[in-house]
Amino acid sequence: MDILFLGHSLIEFYDWQKRFPAHKAVNLGVAGETVEGLLSRIDRITKEHPSADLIFIMTGLNNIAMDDFDFLGSYKRILEKLSSAYPSARIFMNSILPVIVDFISDETIRNMNKSLKELAGEAGVEFLDIYNLFLDGKDRVIKDYLLDDGVHLNDNGYEVWAKAVEEVIEQML
């Protein structure tokens, strides 16, 4: 199965091919990238990778970090371009994960995830809500899943995310 992983550093910093060796997992993550940055690359991506059965997108956190909350239109254009280029692929928008930084509130991320879930429904794609997998029973971020910066995932965090991705892959087999 051809799987594309698109987005920012959380995509880029993981070896998806190593985790899913039975499939062709292409890592197209770019650290620091915004939704608009991904949109600017999307035509090149679809030309360079003409085949995809499954697409996972993780983007938006860098926009939020810059107090840019007006990116749903650009995200919608990404989804339209991907749906057009890969009409038979299943496309999953990943929820934005919780972070432990002073300048991004949990409420902000929760609200944006609600908007992203609505966008997924409008665009006819799927929403992989993994946000709660990173919270303990008291709705606090599980620090054991994050690096010291409070944003990026460590091996434990990536394993949680990869298991959710694996469940999607297994459904398709």
Residue 96 C-alpha from the chain's centroid: 7
Please write the tens of the pLDDT for every residue from 72-119. Answer: 999 999 999 999 999 999 999 999 999 999 999 999 999 999 999 999
pLDDT-based confidence at residue 133 (cuts at 50, 70, 90): very high
Q: Is 4 helix (H, G, I), strand (E, B) or coil?
A: strand
Give the pLDDT of residue 103: 94
Give the pLDDT of residue 173: 84
User: What would the 3-class secondary structure string for 38-87 be?
Assistant: HHHHHHHHHHHCCCCCEEEEECCHHHHHCCCCCCHHHHHHHHHHHHHHCC
First to last CA, the chain: 9
Domains of the chain in start order, with CATH, are 2-172 (3.40.50.1110)
Please write the tens of the pLDDT for every residue from 27-66. Answer: 999 999 999 999 999 999 999 999 999 999 999 999 999 9
- Which residue is it, tokens 């679809």? 46
The Cα 95–Cα 134 span in angstroms is 11
User: What would the 3-class secondary structure string for 101-139 be?
Assistant: CCCCCHHHHHHHHHHHHHHHHHHCCEEECCHHHHECCCC
Please tell me the pTM assigned to this model: 0.96
Task: Please give the average per-residue pLDDT across 140-160, as a whole number.
Answer: 97
Q: CA angle at residue 122 from 38 to 92, to 5 degrees?
A: 50
